[in-house]
Structure formats: structure tokens, C-alpha cells
Structure 1
Amino acid sequence: MAKLGMPNVIISFKEAGIAAIERSKRGIVFLVLEEEEAVITQLTTEPEEGEEVIQNPFVVYTTDDIPSGLSENNKDYITKCLLGYVTAPYRVKVYLQATGKSGADKWQDSLKAIAAERWDYLAIPGIEEEQLETVGTWIKTNRENKYKKVKAVLPGYVGDFEGIINFSNKTIKTATKEYTPSEYTARIAGLIAGTPMTISATYAPLSEVIDCDKYDLDENDEKVNNGEFFIWFDGTKYKMSRAVNSLTTTTEGKQEGYQTIKIVDIMDMIYDDVRTTAQDSYIGKYANTYDNKCLLITAILGYLKELENEGLLQKNYSTVELDTETIKNYQLQNGLYTKEELADMSDDEINQLDTKKKVFLKGKIKIIDAMEDIELPFDI
């Protein structure tokens, strides 16, 4: 007996031909913070007079939403995250973990607690070196096997993966405090989340930074090529390096574009939006007829045209259509038609054949990157 399982929406991206509705709000950061268990209990059951009971996790929109009972360090991490870049993050979600745990699996229970939540970037200001691989693997598993396109900012972790941002500074100083790389991941996650998708976080200034570890230009180039995202000093101000993630090993279908934070963000948005809309508005709600497949194509194309008009995709390039070759193979594999019968059919006739529960589509888009490399030779 064939195994049906749950209905699926499988969307994949290949740089040679990207295959891919209501636009979702992006820029949500999840912070996992350690706090004394007594404080967590008080905040979630019997807060101080004048404060409301909070949930765990809870949501912060502005500094006014930060519970006063939190430790000063945790208040600071949330405040730094809210600094953002062009804008503040759309929202910051916070999960409080009781202090006292250790080891490589220290954050596992917290990761399980936030797994079903909707968010874009994760930062854990208390994470230590022995826990990086566990968290990095969890991010990779979610992106590749659980249809959840989440990303994490991890300190000094060579993840070699588009879902991991390797924040590689060794020291960061502000006028009031010196931070470890782990502690400053909250600020970096907020900065990325506060970057509009029309631009990148490359050279985003950090006005609060007064010192950090410094390298010469060749070393900075090498760090970028190694998939590091870091603060550097240009002689006048402190700002971010080229906005790349930790992916350095490119493969067929996963080339240079996958190394760019901006492009991965746009791919993730399209993936989430099309998948969510298909689940909410199409799966189980329409007969799988040719006409209804065309309605789905029209909806996706309208969404992509919207992104073209916003400057995220190249204008007049996006396409979505029925995948004739895959439909043909489906007919052959399931014994519905012979090779000879299919050979006598036009593409339009093949596209109108019954595909049971399956809808086979293909498409292409071209994501617009930010202006980063400028060349201008002058003739004199």
C-alpha cells in the first residue's frame, strides 16, 4: 500500500534555475537568555506590583516591553538587539532558560521550546564553544529536513552553511561595557533583522562601538572569504564587513548567491510565503484540475511580480508554469500512459493530464543583490 503521510509543499532553489500570496513580516529575532529560576517563576506567575504576568517565551517590540525583573545583562542584550540598523527588528522574541545547565546539550530544551515559533534569526548570548556544533546542527536540520528556514548568529563558528552567520570578532568595546563575541550576537542578529531586503548589512555602522580587534586589509579579505561576518575599523568609524554567511563550500545549484545574507533572506521569504499560502489556501481546498492549477500559478506569479516591483527580483523575468517533463514522467512511472502515447501529445495536452494529488510546477526568478563592488576607472 502506498504511504501517503501528511500533505507536502516542497520548494527548492537552484541557482541555475530557481523554482520556487501574502507577504510575510520579516525580521524576527529570537533570543535565548539565561536567568535565575526564581526570577523566571516570579515573572511568569507573580510579578512585582505594576507589572503584568509574562509568558515564556515573550515578545518585545520596544524597550518599554522589557520586564524590569530581568538581570541587567539580559536587559542590555534585548536593548542592543532592538538597535537594529535602518529599522529596529520587526519584533524580538525572548525565551528564558534557568541557569545551572552545562554541556554540549545545554540549550536543547530551549530549542525544542522555540521550534514551533515563527522567527528568522536566533542568538544565544550565553552560548559557549562546546555548544556551537549542537546548535548549528539543529539549525541545519530545521532548514533542510523540517521546512523551517531559520538562521542563527553564532560566535566564531565555521558552520560552512547558509543558515549560520559566523560572527568572528574576538573583542567588542562600547563606552560602557566590553563584550564577548557570544554576548554581542544579540546586537548582530538585531542589525541583520533590521536591514530592509532592498539593501544589505554590508558596511552597516555601529555607532556604539569604540574598539574591537583589528586586522589589515588583506586579513579582512581573507576573513570574508572564510565566511566570517565581523566589525572592522575603517580609520574613522566601526562598521560591519561584507554581509556574508558562513557558507564557503559551493556546489552545483548552490553557488555564490547562497553566501550572501540578503539573497538567502529573500529566498527564505519566498519559500515561507508560498509554502504557507499553499497550505492555508490551496491544499485540500480545490480539486486538482488544470484550471485550478492555473489559478495557483497566477497567485504565485502575482506575488513574484510584487517582489519585482519592490526591487527584490529582476523585473519581467519571473516565471511559474506547469512542469511538462515531470508530468510526463509521472504518467510513465504510474503506468497511466505509454511512452508512445505521450509522444503523440502536445505539451498543452500533457499539462492537462490527471496527476492525482500532485501539482508539478517549475519556475525561475532572479534575485537583485545590493550594490557592493564599485569599479570606476578614469581616463585622464
Structure 2
Amino acid sequence: METLGMPQYEVEFKKKSDNFIRRSAQGIVCIILKDKKLPKGKLIEYNSFKEIKAESMDAENYDLLKLCYKGKPRKVMVMPIDDYEVSGEDSKITLAKALEILKFKRFNYLTVPGILKKHHETLVTWVETHREFYRPTHLILSGYSNESGKRFVYNWSTDNVYIGEKKYSAADFCIRLAGVLAGVPVNESVTRYELEDVTSADMKEDEDSLVNKGEIFLTTDGDSFYISRGVTSLQRVSSDEDIEDFRKIKISETADMIYQDIKDTWQKKFVGKFMNVYRNKLVFIAAVRDYLESLEKIDVLDTAGDNRITIDIDENRKYLEEVKKVKVDDYEEARIKEANTGSFLFCVGSLLIADALEDLKMKFYM
């Protein structure tokens, strides 16, 4: 007798929830590098540092990739270019041409150590567009200045970082941060992440102020060096898509993973495979609810919150009125909820993502 088993969409969500923390610690780093030896115009992928041959690239770039792999990313992608300028000779691979090649690739972190500050916004705009169509990508820059900031841009600001006798600029050390972020699981935070090999660096004063400005930097307790706090560059919430909690990398990236898991499963297991009738809408919603409940069990979501999803009655009403030209003033809520909405499934939900323990306030009375 044939074994039917669970529906494929439920299996897909179960796989994602079971491996949520593991997947978050296996990020992919993409680095755009100016190099004289590597072949231009071709994306090179390394699954481990052992695959990288020192003689295949410039010595300083080999050292940077070694620095990145200290953070234990799952994969490093290198896009070799001739010039960090956006435009240039047709025969050269510029930053703009590199971004065109990367357009259809998926990766978690992008950094361009040699980028000129005048091209920061070009890169930010590209990543913003990339996030809309592919896996949410995060950009790591140094010296990024924007009054509002972006939750997907991480601004590293410590310069002259020494590992032994070797000195790294703030721009170069973005690669180390990318590797660290790619290797830290979602149930941990990069706040106070120790960099055991760092021997000295340009230290900051007024650290609280810098954190509030969305900067990430090195701090020290006098013995060791640590990443200050896992904050995004977001300083002012100016969009419906952003919330105050997205000023923390931990919260922002968890939200990205949940969004992508639901989106991927929707596209692979639901689109075109179910008719858009009410009972099938409930199938998808029930599957997402089970997925959210499974994330509660591994402390990705906080059970103190209302972690749920349901049909968006307001959007259903809007669709009926504006698209179907139906007057729904006298409709009961259940009728609007179960209404035919063409090819659209309108959902609304809420999440409370668990934060990491980072702050302590304590009082003793005697």
C-alpha cells in the first residue's frame, strides 16, 4: 500500500522550523573585491577556506578572506572587479557591472571593502531592491552616514584594528563582521561577541551615543575586545515597514528569516497548486500557524506575544469594493471573510520576536 504521509507544504514548514536556528548560523557572505589575478566578470564561490588557493588572488585579498572565515560562514562568494567606480571603460568590470551579475544571486551579507563613500547610496539602493525580490540581504559598510539609516545596513566604525602586527582599516574589517554575522545563530546575538585575536584598535569614547547613532564598533574590558552591540544603522523609523525593534540586528534578521520561510513555502508549495477558495485559504493559514507555534517552542518567538495569522478582513473588503465594485456595507464579517478574492489571499498577523539578554539593571539593598 502506498504511504501518503503528510502534505508537502506541512513537511516544508516543519523542515524550516526544525532547522531554523541551524540555518541562521550558516549564512552566505558576498564580497566585491578589486583583484589583479582573479578572473573578472565571474562570481566565484568557496564552500570552505581550504578551497581558496593563495596564489590565485592578490595576497591582501587572500588575507581578507581568511579573516572572513574566522567567523565560520557557510559559504563565501567573491565577485572580482577591476574598479570600485560605478562607471568606467567598457572593457573593465566596475562596481555597477558586478551588481548586474549579482542581481539574481542569493546571499545574506554583502560588503565592498574598497567602495567609495560617494557610492554608498548606490549600493544601498541596489540592496533595497534586491531584498524585495530575493532573499533578504544585509549590507555592511564603514562610514555610512544617513540621518534615518536602514535596518538592512550595518555601519562598522572602528578603524586601525590590529591582529598581531597586521593592521586592518574599518573598511577591511567589515569583512570580519560579515563572517561573524554569518556564523552566529539566531538564538544568540553578536553583542559582546569576543574577537580573541584582536590585539589593539582605535577605541571609541561616548559609546552609548555611538550605539544610538547606529554604529557597530570594538569595545574592551581592558583584557579582551568585543563587538559593541548588534545594532542596525536604523535611527529614525520613517516607514510602515520599519519598527523601533528593527534597530537591533537580532530582531531584524529573525523577522527576515520568518518572512522568507513563509514566502518560499507559498511560492513553492501553494502558488498554482490550490484553487483560491475559502477552505484552501484556511489550509495555508493553518500551516503558517503551526510554523509559528514551532518557533515558539525553540524560543525564536516569545509566547508572551500574540503570534498568529488570519485572513485580513479589511483588505478583503477593500478588494470587493474597489475591484469587484461590490457594496459590502450590509455584509456580515463572516461573508467578507469567506468572499471570493480572485487570485489574492489577503493575510494579516502579528509576531513577538524573542530578544537576547543584553542589558542588566540590578539593585541591592542592605
Deviation at 1:244, TM superposition (A): 0.4
Could you tell me which residue of structure 2 aligns to residue 70 of structure 1?
57
Aligned partner letter, 2:29:
V
Contact 2:84 2:115 in 1 (8 A): no
Please give the residue correspondences for 1:1-380 in structure 2 after superposition, counting only pairs within 5 Å.
21=13, 22-23=15-16, 25-26=23-24, 27-36=27-36, 39-41=37-39, 56-68=42-54, 69-84=56-71, 88-97=72-81, 99=82, 101-105=83-87, 106-143=94-131, 145-146=132-133, 148-159=135-146, 160-216=149-205, 219-251=206-238, 253=240, 254-315=242-303, 317-335=306-324, 337-342=326-331, 345=332, 347-380=333-366
Residues of 2 paired with 1:73 and 1:335: CA distance?
A: 62
The percentage of aligned residue pairs carrying the same residue is 28
State the superposition RMSD in angstroms.
2.0
Unmatched 5+ stretches in structure 1: 1-20, 45-54
Q: CA deviation at 1:147?
A: 5.4
2-structure distance, mates of 1:147, 1:363: 22
3-state SS of 2:34 partner: strand
Alpha-carbon distance, 1:340 to partner: 4.0
Q: State how far apart, in whole Å, the 1-side matches of 2:208 and 2:282 are.
A: 48
Deviation at 1:333, TM superposition (A): 1.9
Inter-partner Cα distance in structure 2 for 1:132 and 1:250? 20
Please tell me whether the aligned partners of residues 84 and 116 of structure 2 are also in contact (alpha carbons under 8 angstroms): no
Counterparts of 1:357 and 1:310, CA distance in 2: 34
Q: CA deviation at 1:252?
A: 6.5
Structure 2 residue matching 1:162: 3-state secondary structure: coil
State the AA in 1 paired with 2:279: D
Query: Could you give the per-residue CA deviations for residues 204-249 of structure 1, whole angstroms, max 9, x where no partner exists?
Result: 0111111111133xx1111111110011222111111111011111
Alignment check: 8 A CA contact 1:293 1:359 kept: yes
TM value normalised by structure 1: 0.83
Structure 1 counterpart of 2:184, which letter? T
Distance 1:191 1:261 in 2: 13
SS of the residue corresponding to residue 199 of structure 2 reads strand
Q: C-alpha offsets along residues 165-214 of structure 1, whole Å, 9 cap, x if unaligned? A: 00011221110310111111110111111111011100101111111111
Q: Distance in 1 between matches of 2:291 and 2:339?
A: 26
Q: What's the CA shift for 1:148?
A: 4.7
SS at match of 1:212: coil
Task: Report the alpha carbon displacement of residue 334 of structure 1 after superposing the two structures with TM.
Answer: 2.9
Relative contact order, higher structure (CA 8 A, sep 6+): 1
Aligned residues: 335
Offset of residue 287 of structure 1: 0.3
Which residue identity is paired with 2:38?
A: I
Residue identity in the other structure for 2:28: I
Moved segments of 4+, more than 6 Å: none
Conserved? CA contact 2:84–2:114, under 8 Å: no
Q: For the residues of structure 2 that align with 1:252 and 1:131, how far apart are their CA atoms? A: 23
